[in-house]
A and B are shown apart, each in its own frame.
Chain A
């Protein structure tokens, strides 16, 4: 009985995780048009990865995203954000200057618009997702 329940859970989770991740990345990429953005979308992506670690095993999840890889992605997200912000300083504006330094803003209401903002929320999304997952791993890890 117990084994069969675990089998159903595993198959359903394996089926549902891609949908959660697609929704999370949708919330991230459409963050400048609709409610959502980097933080909320990153949390949804992280929830899918935590769901994997809950259903299977924390050690199995840790194989997919080890602590070294997690800190690499975290640092990449932060560096990506700061580098895009410093782009404005290098050209001669303020930190995180967007339209004034000649970045094409696109048509309002379309996916490719807003200049730097979609790229910034992508960096935030990566960083938040990896941070929340590694928070969970460091909490449940056997020591």
Chain B
């Protein structure tokens, strides 16, 4: 389990760095959704299934939808 945690956490850090550094805002939002999904799995690993469900529904679902709606109103590239 420690190896799985290490793997998940390293991909999480990679996702966070990629979401900050991407110039394409739509791509950054998608990477952020992947970050939230990984974070939900990590919450489950840490023994917090309640937080994991909320993170999967809010972080990966609603936040992504709201950000994509904002991008459709503004521009895709910064």
Contacts and interface: CB of A to CB of B under 8 A. Distances in A.
Q: Which DSSP category, helix, strand, loop or mixed, fits chain B's interface?
A: helix
Interface residues of B, number: 15
Contact of B73 (A43, A44, A139): A139
B69 A43 contact: no
A139 B62 contact: no
B50 to A, nearest CB: 4
Question: Size range of the interface on A?
Answer: 10 to 19
B50 A46 contact: no
A3 to B, nearest CB: 21
A139 B70 contact: yes
A132 B62 contact: yes
A39 B53 CA distance: 10
Contact of B57 (A40, A54, A136, A140): A40
Contacts of A135: 66
A35 B62 contact: no
Interface of A: 27, 35-37, 39-40, 43-44, 46-47, 50, 54, 132, 135-136, 139-140
